[in-house]
Amino acid sequence: MKAVVFDVDGTLAETERDGHRVAFNEALAAHGVDLHWDVARYRELLTITGGRPRLAADLRRHGVDDADEVAARVHRTKTELFVDVVRRGVIAPRPGVPELVDDLRAHGVRIAIATTGRRAWVEPLVRHLVGDVEVTVCGDDVAALKPDPETYLLALSRLGLDAARVVAVEDSGPGLAAARAAGLATVVVTNDDTVHHDVRGAALVREAFDRPAPLTAADLADALTGARA
């Protein structure tokens, strides 16, 4: 195992429910759009990858004719709001994430990021959560979002590594599909929003990084070995 590529939202931190969802609702209100996402509805919408496509899809469902244009405007405001939250440093990593990253670094494993999020908030959030990483691929860098494998393929290209030496860490079904399509053995650590996702095909599935025992570099290496056997 030469590198581990982490997803961000829901994987490194619980950003969706109390971060992105709140920022979206504030942005919708600021633009006078009569739409509000409660926790249950937002959880349903998480099957759509990417904030702007997610918003556009729900706007179309509510009969908004220029859904893509409205979604673009609202999403810009939402990103500004979320960047402010990130820069205040109020989002904490999921328990066990810093310890896993420290263990990987202690074993000389390279760390990368592959996310559909916008670079404006991804980079400061990742620095806050786990420090500097070698490669960061964001939604800004690709034409197709997860479950398309483009983010992972670009991360592999920038790392200069073959997929057979790299493990992906994800939290969701779409993320798993993207990583596997890029040829990566994938460890899925679910959360409250993704616990019911179809994660068949994952090399290892956990509900937490720190329970029932801490997830370690050795666990990820074993998952890679098992996936390649």
Residue 44 sits in the same domain as residue 136: no
Domain span including residue 48: 16-87
Domain-ending residue, one of 87, 102, 123: 87
**Same structural domain for residues 108 and 161?**
yes
Tell how strand 166-170 and strand 204-206 pair up: unpaired
Of 87, 108, 126, at which residue does a domain stop? 87
Rounded Cα distance between 207 and 193, Å, is: 11
**Domain final residue, candidates 29, 52, 87:** 87
Residue percentage of the chain with pLDDT more than 70: 100
**Exactly one of 7, 58, 171, 193 is catalytic; which is it?**
7
CATH at 192: 3.40.50.1000
Structure tokens at 83: 């960047």
pTM, rounded to two decimals: 0.88
Residue 98 shares a structural domain with residue 210: yes
Average pLDDT of the segment spanning 117-145: 95
- 36 DSSP assignment: -
Q: Is 9 a catalytic residue?
A: yes
Pair (82, 132) in one structural domain: no
Q: Are residues 80 and 123 in the same domain?
A: no
As given in the structure block, the two tokens for residue 107 are: 């074993």
pLDDT digits (tens, 9 = 90+) for 73-119: 999 999 999 999 898 888 999 999 999 999 999 999 999 999 999 99
Angle in degrees, 0-180, between the axes of helices 67-87 and 51-61, rounded to the nearest 10: 140
CATH code of 30's domain: 1.10.150.240
Q: Has 84 been annotated as catalytic?
A: no
Query: Total domain count for the chain?
Result: 2
Domain identity same for 130 and 204: yes
